[in-house]
Amino acid sequence: MYAAAIPFPAIDPVLIEIGPLAIRWYALAYIAGLVLGWRYVVRLMRREDLWGRRGAPATADDIDDLLTWVALGVILGGRLGYVLFYNPGYYLANPLQIPVLWEGGMSFHGGFLGVILAIFGFARKRGIPLFPLGDSIAAAAPIGLFFGRIANFINAELYGRATDVPWAVLFPVAPDGRLEARHPSQLYEAALEGLLLFLVLRFLTHRREALERPGLVTGVFLIGYGLSRIVVETVREPDAHIGYLVPLGWTGVTMGMVLSLPMVLIGLWFALRAPRQA
C-alpha cells in the first residue's frame, strides 16, 4: 500500500522563529484568508452594477471597519466552538488551556457562528441591511476556507482515513509519528469548500445577478459548505476522543456531519425565500 502512496512534504509548521517569537503557517493562513477576503468584499462593494437599483449595502470604509469584527468572530467563535463541540470535558478540567490557540483546536462551525454574530452586530450598529451584507461576506468566505485547509495539510492534521488509493499521502500519524497512507482530506476540503465553492458563488454574483436577490448567495454558501463537509467526512478520520457518533458499516455519522446538516437545511430555506428575480 505504501509503494503507491505520495510522501508527505515535510514542511515545518513554523515559518520563522526568532527567539520566543514563532510565526506559524497556520496563523499566516488565517491572516491571508481575512485580508484577501476583506479586499474581495471591498471590490464587490465598489461594483455598483452587481447590486442593481438598491446599490451596494455598505461603503469600502464600512468593510474596513467590519474586518476587525469578523476577525474577532472567527478567532473567538472558532476556539469556543472547538471547546464546546469537540472537547468540553478536557477544557472543563483544564480551563487555562482554552486560550492556547497556537497548539491547535479551531472549529469552523464555531467560527461561522462567531462571524454571524459579528455581522449582525455590525449591521445593526451601522444601519446596514443584514442580508446583502451577509451575502458579500459569504461570497468571500471560501477564500479563508481554502487557506485554512492548506494550513491543516501543512500541519499534518485532520487527515483522512487509511486507504490504498493512488493519491494517498503518507502522513506522520500521531502520537508516535509512524507513516500511514491516508486520504488527503484537507486537500479535498480545500478543493470543494474553497476553490469550487468560490467559483460557484463568483458565477452567481457576476453572471446571474445573485447579489440583487438578498439571501441567495448566503443560502448557496451554506448548502455548498454543508454538502462538501458531509461528503469529505465519509473519508476523514474522526476525532479520536469522539469517534463515530453512529457507526454505519465502512463509515459513520461524525460530529462534523451533525453540525453541517443544519447548515444545508438553513441554506435551502435562505435560497428558497430569496426573491426569484433580481
Residue 156 lies in domain = 2-273
pLDDT beyond 90 at 211: yes
149 annotated binding-site participant: yes
Which of 153-157, 182-186, 250-254 has the largest mean confidence? 182-186
Query: What contacts 24+ positions apart, CB below 8 Å, involve 118-125?
Result: 118/66, 118/69, 118/70, 118/72, 118/73, 119/66, 119/69, 119/70, 119/73, 121/69, 122/65, 122/66, 122/69
Q: What is the mean pLDDT of the chain?
A: 91
Q: Please give the pLDDT value at position 4.
A: 62
Mean pLDDT within 33-54: 96
pLDDT beyond 70 at 223: yes
Mean pLDDT within 115-127: 97
45-73 pLDDT, tens digit per residue, is 999 999 999 899 999 999 999 999 999 99
Q: Please give the pLDDT value at position 102.
A: 64
Of the two residues 133 and 4, the one the predictor is more confident about is: 133
Domain contains 79:
yes
Structurally, the chain folds into a number of domains equal to: 1
Interior/surface letters 167-200, b for 16+ CB within 10 angstroms, e for the rest: ebbbbeeeeeeeebbbbbbbbbbbbbbbeebbeb
Cis peptide preceding 175, ω within 30 of 0: yes
Domain contains 116:
yes
Domain contains 102:
yes
CA 228 – CA 235 distance, rounded (Å): 12
Interior/surface letters 48-58, b for 16+ CB within 10 angstroms, e for the rest: eebbeeeebbb
C-alpha cell at 247: 457507526
Mean pLDDT within 218-231: 98
Domain contains 278:
no
Overall residue count recorded for the chain in this entry:
278
pLDDT beyond 90 at 168: yes
2: confidence class by pLDDT, cuts 50, 70, 90: low
Domain contains 183:
yes
Domain contains 208:
yes
pLDDT beyond 70 at 278: no
Domain contains 202:
yes
pTM for this prediction: 0.91
Q: Please give the pLDDT value at position 1.
A: 46
Domain contains 62:
yes
Mean pLDDT within 237-255: 86
